[in-house]
Amino acid sequence: MHNIIEDSFGRQFKTLRVSLTSVCNMSCIYCVTPGIIQQAPKEKVLTTSEYLEAIQKIHKQVGLKTIRLTGGEPLLFNELPALIKGIVELGITDIKLTTNGLRLLPQLDSLVEAGLKSINISLDALDPGVFRSISKVADIRSVLDAVDASIASGLEVKINTVVLKGVNDHQIVPLLEYASARNIPIRFLELMKMGYLHYNESDYFFGMDEIVERIASVTSVAKMQRTASNTTTYWQTSKGMVFGVIANESEPFCSDCNRLRLDSFGNIYGCISASEGIDVKALKDEALTEALQKALAQKQDYFTGSEISMKYIGG
Ligand code: SAM
């Protein structure tokens, strides 16, 4: 029997996003402060068994439905198949991964075998030069191969694209056509004011209206009904293509947010805008219930941004 941990909006925690590592093998210009060399954290990160312990005790309290493994780059966590298997054994079978795909191919079979159900692959451009200018990595081929191999493996696959004004907004239509040719949904993300962009994201900001307008210039579009607790508003084109927009700024979806976050140091966050996590490593029973209630109280009415970059808190 789970506790009812619920706020006055009726929000509960049903999805846990776990940032398995704050380290990434890309340095996307909206996530990593320019000029910073990424280093392994000084603080001790959780081991597989510590992650499983944390997930189990949270699950026991709130009855999780979904786990999304993210980061940093989750494929850099070297016991990922064992972790996924362990989560399935805890009784949570809806396990999803958000990845840049660079390191996916050698691990794909073992992840599927372990119980992975769904994968979101981040791809901000098809043009190799634009891809490199955003990610600081030249190897777009491995990412494109990861998309095709994921589809062939039977995983549910989605593409995530962060749209930056003047940088990759001209990639919106080619990316939509690329996803449609593979019959997979693509979601365009509005840039969120996080990390070093907390105070100056507007230079790059390209909003939902502009994204939809760009697509509407080549095919007519109709908005679909948003499902509860979903981050995405979906649209359908007259050519039968489906795309989503994650519009944190233009159409905030905080009011029915069911997400809880766990970082790689054992801190939980009830909101992506929360500037401080709550260390739950040593907590259980009533102390954990209190921490979860405190995390729930962090939820906002709308997205206010954070000085913490997405790579720490888990995108
Ligand atoms: N490394 C993995 C990846 O690239 O998918 C997982 C972590 S990454 C932080 C998760 C997602 O967050 C990616 O799709 C990334 O593009 C997105 N992201 C990071 N910072 C963002 C920001 N400031 N605004 C919007 N999306 C952001």
Nearest-atom number in ligand 1 for the CA of 311 is 9
Residue 70 CA: nearest ligand 1 atom is 6
Residue 132 — pLDDT band, cuts 50, 70, 90?
very high
> CA–CA distance from 19 to each of 109, 114, 133, 237 (Å)?
22, 19, 25, 34
**What pairing do the DSSP bridges indicate for beta strands 15-19 and 259-262?**
parallel
Q: What is the pTM of this model?
A: 0.96
Task: Check residue 231 and give its pLDDT.
Answer: 84
Q: How far is the CA of 190 from the centre of ligand 1 (A)?
A: 11
Atom of ligand 1 nearest to the CA of 120: 5
The count of other CB atoms within 10 Å of the CB of residue 92 is 19
- For residue 310, what pLDDT is reported? 92
Residue 121, strand partner residues: 99, 159
pLDDT value at residue 251: 87
Count CB neighbours of 306 within 10 A: 20
Q: What is the Å distance from ligand 1's center to 198 Cα?
A: 15
Residue with tokens 């390209």: 206
Per-residue pLDDT at 194? 93
- Report yes or no: 280 and 266 within 8 Å, Cβ to Cβ: yes
Lowest-pLDDT choice from 16-20, 151-155, 189-193, 246-250: 246-250
What is the percent of the chain with per-residue pLDDT over 90, rounded to a whole number? 80
Distance 42 CA to ligand 1 centre (A): 22
Q: Residue of the nearest CA to atom 8 in ligand 1? A: 315
Instruction: Take atom 22 of ligand 1 and give the residue whose Cα is closest.
Output: 192
CA 99 – ligand 1 centroid, Å: 9
In the numeric block, the tokens 């790059």 are attached to 204
Give me the mean pLDDT over the 30-42 stretch: 84
Residues 166, 245: Cα–Cα separation, whole Å: 18
pLDDT of residue 123: 98
Rounded to the nearest angstrom, the distance between the alpha carbon of 4 and the centre of ligand 1 is 31
DSSP string, the chain: -------TT-----EEEEE--S--S---TTTS-TTPPP---SSPPPPHHHHHHHHHHHHHHH---EEEEESS-GGGSTTHHHHHHHHHHTT--EEEEEE--TT-GGGHHHHHHHT--EEEEE---SSHHHHHHHHS---HHHHHHHHHHHHHHT-EEEEEEE-BTTTTGGGHHHHHHHHHHTT--EEEEPPP-BGGGTTTGGGTB--HHHHHHHHHTTS-EEEPPPPTT-S-EEEEETTS-EEEEE-TTTS--GGG--EEEE-TTSEEESSTT-SS-EE-TT--HHHHHHHHHHHHHT--SS---BSS-HHHH--
For residue 107, list its beta bridge partners.
none
Q: How close is the Cα of 233 to the center of ligand 1, in Å?
A: 18
The band of 1, judged by pLDDT with boundaries at 50, 70 and 90, is low
The pLDDT assigned to 169 comes to 98
pLDDT digits 0-9 by tens, 234-269:
999 998 889 999 998 898 888 889 999 999 999 999
Q: Which of 98, 159, 311 to mutate to test the pocket of ligand 1 (most atoms within 8 A of CB)?
A: 98
- Residue 220 Cα distances to 190, 236, 254, angstroms: 21, 8, 29
The pLDDT, as a whole number, for residue 91 is 98
Distance CA 14, CA 6 (A): 11
pLDDT reported for residue 50 = 98
Nearest to 294 by CA among 283, 272, 278: 278
Q: How many angstroms is it from 247 CA to the middle of ligand 1?
A: 14
Going by their DSSP bridges, the two strands 233-237 and 221-223 should be labelled as: antiparallel
User: Per-residue b/e over 5-33, b at no fewer than 16 CB within 10 Å?
Assistant: beeeeebbbbbbbbbbbbbbbbbbbbbbe
Of 41-45, 126-130, 156-160, least confident by mean pLDDT is 41-45
How far does the centroid of ligand 1 lie from the alpha carbon of residue 277, in Å? 19
Report the pLDDT value the prediction gives residue 202, as an integer from 0 to 100.
80
Mean pLDDT of the chain: 94
Mutation choice for ligand 1 from 31, 68, 193, 263, CB with most ligand atoms inside 8 A? 31
- For residue 194, the ligand 1 atom closest to its alpha carbon is 23
Instruction: Please determine, for residue 3, whether its predicted confidence score (pLDDT) is greater than 80.
Output: no
Mutate to test the pocket of ligand 1, among 194, 310, 313 (most ligand atoms within 8 A of CB): 310
Q: How are beta strands 259-262 and 242-246 bridged, if at all?
A: unpaired
| CA dist., res. 59 & res. 56, Å (int) | 5
Q: What is the pLDDT of residues 178-230, one digit of tens each?
A: 999 999 999 999 999 999 998 887 889 999 999 999 999 999 999 998 787 78
Any residues with Cβ below 6 Å from ligand 1, and which?
24, 28, 30-31, 70-71, 73, 98-100, 122, 160, 162, 189, 191-192, 194, 197, 310-311, 315
**pLDDT tier at 43 (50, 70, 90 boundaries)?**
confident
pLDDT in tens, 47-102: 999 999 999 999 999 999 999 999 999 999 999 999 999 999 999 999 999 999 99
Atom of ligand 1 nearest to the CA of 197: 23
